[in-house]
Amino acid sequence: MTGMLAACLMVAIVGSCLLVPAGAGRAEAAGDPERGRALFESRQCARCHLPRGQEGLGPAENEVRRPQGAFELAGRLWNHAPGMVAMFKEKGIEWPQISPAEMADLMVYLGGDPARDPVADPFKGQVALVRKGCLKCHSLRGEGGRVGPELSERRNTYDSAVTWAATMWVHTPRMAAKTAELGVLYPRFDGDELVNLVGFLRSAVR
C-alpha cells in the first residue's frame, strides 16, 4: 500500500509540473503603460490603428487595445505580423525594431495581462504543434523539418509571453518570407492555443 501511495504521489507531482501557469519562467521587469503608449505612437502603430469610426489600414485601436491574456496578445501579434511585413514592403517602410523591454511596455499598454491567461494544457499544445504544421519547418527531438531550430532545446523564448513576442517579432520578416518560399501555410493562433503550445514546449525541453 505504501508503494502504491508513493506511485500515486509521483504521478500527481509530474502532472502538476506539466500543468504550469502560462507565465511561469524567468522573472522580468513589469512594463509601463505610458512608455507603451509613447512606443505605439513613435513606431507608427497609430498611423494604421486609428480610433473606432476612423478608417485605417489595420484594426481599430479600440480592438487592438483591450483586456486580454498576455499569450493571447502575443498570438494576435504573431498573426498580424505577416500582413504588416507585406504592407511595409509595399510602402518601402523599414520593419520596426522592438526590444524585449519595449515589448513589455507595449503589451501592457495594449492590455496584455498574464493573469488572464489560462493554465497551459501541454496535451492541447502538442495537438496544436501538429495541427499548425510547426514540424514542417522545426524538429522536435530529432523528428520533423530542418529549416528552423530544434524545439526541444532549452530557449528563453519559452519563459514568458513578452520574451516570445519580442523574439518572434524580430524573426517574423524572415519567417514569413520562408513560409511563402516553401509554400507552407503560416500558422495562426487563437484563444489559448499559443499558451498551450508554449506549455507543451516547456515540458518537452531537454
pLDDT at 81: 85
The answer to whether residue 20 is domain-embedded is no
Question: Which structural domain range is residue 193 located in?
Answer: 30-204
How many independent structural domains does the chain possess?
1
Kindly state the helix (H) or strand (E) to which residue 105 belongs, with its residue range. helix 100-109
CB within 8 A of 39, min separation 6: which ones?
45, 98, 102, 105, 106, 109
pLDDT digits over 31-71, tens only?
A: 999 999 999 888 878 777 878 777 777 777 888 899 999 99
> Is residue 54 a part of any domain in this protein?
yes
> Is residue 23 included in any domain, yes or no?
no
> Which residues of the chain carry a pLDDT beneath 70?
1-29, 206
Asked if residue 150 belongs to a domain, the reply is: yes
Please tell me the predicted confidence (pLDDT) of residue 10.
Answer: 33
Quote the pLDDT of residue 20.
39
32 class by beta-carbon count within 10 Å (0-12 exposed, 13-18 middle, 19+ buried): middle
180 inside domain: yes
- The answer to whether residue 10 is domain-embedded is no
Q: Looking at residue 44, what is its pLDDT?
A: 75
Residue 6 is assigned to a structural domain of this protein: no
Q: Indicate whether 184 belongs to any domain.
A: yes
